[in-house]
A = this chain, B = another copy of it.
Amino acid sequence: MEKKEISKSVLKRLPGYLAYLKSLPPDASPYISATALASALGMGEVQVRKDLAMVSDGGRPKIGYLRQGLADDIEQFLGYDNTTDAVLIGAGKLGQALMGYGGFDAYGLNILAGFDAAPTTDATEEGKPIYPMSQLPAFCKSNKVLMGIVTVPAKYAQEVCNQLIACGIKAIWTFASAHIDVPDGILVQYENMATSLAVLSMHLKAQIKEKK
C-alpha cells in the first residue's frame, strides 16, 4: 500500500503491536481485530484502529486483520525487511554485548564492526571485527554506513558523534547519558538507561514510604 506520513508517536507504538502479534501461539485464531489488540495491550481502541490503518489496508469489518498479514505489513513499514548496516563506537562490555546480541537481526539491524580508541581485542566472541578509531572514516565510506551506535562513556559521546557525522552517519543511537548537539538532518535516538533507573528508583521510594 501507499505509505502515509506517520508521526513519531505512531511509529513508537508499532513495535509493540508487532511484538504482541509475534507472541501469540501458532494455534491462536488467524484473525485479530483492533479491539482485541487494544484490549490485550491496555490501549485505546480508536488509537489502535487508526494506527493499524496507517500501515495496513488488510482490515475487514467484523473480521479484523489476518494476523500474519498484519505482522508482515508492520515489519515492512518499519523497514525490518531491509537490513540497516551500522558501526558501533566503544567496544567495551556493553558495546561488545550489543555487537553479539542476536536479537537485532529480527529488526533489520546489522552491526558490521566495532571501533574503539584503545581496542582490547580485535574481534568479539562471535567474530565481529573491532578496529581502532583511525580506521572509522575509510570503513564508513567503503561500506556506505549511515547508522552509528555509541556506547562510549558520557564525556566522550559528543566527540565521537562529531566523528561519526564527519564520516557521513545520518542516524545515531546513543547509550551514553549525555546530551548530543547535532546539525539538521541528523537524528539522535537516546537509549537513556539513567532515565529509566531514575523512574524506577522513585517508584520504589514511594512504595517504601507508603509502607511506613
Contacts and interface: CB of A to CB of B under 8 A. Distances in A.
B8 A199 contact: yes
Q: Which range holds the interface residue count of chain A?
A: 35 or more
Identical chains bound together, number? 2
A194 interface: yes
Of the listed residues A102, A104, A205, the one surrounded by the most CB atoms of chain B closer than 10 A to its CB is A205
A171 B204 contact: yes
A154 B179 CA distance: 30
Of the listed residues A96, A179, A203, the one surrounded by the most CB atoms of chain B closer than 10 A to its CB is A203
Contacts of A12: 195, 198-199
Nearest to A207: B170
Interface in A3-33: 6, 8, 11-12, 14-16, 18-20, 22-23
Interface of A: 6, 8, 11-12, 14-16, 18-20, 22-23, 40-42, 78-80, 82, 84, 93-94, 96-98, 100-104, 107-109, 146-147, 153-155, 170-171, 173, 177-179, 181, 185, 187, 189, 191-205, 207-208
Ranked 3 nearest A-B pairs via Cβ: A97-B97, A15-B194, A187-B203
16 contacts: A8-B199, A14-B198, A15-B192, A16-B179, A82-B201, A84-B200, A93-B97, A96-B97, A107-B193, A107-B194, A147-B204, A170-B204, A171-B201, A173-B196, A187-B200, A189-B199
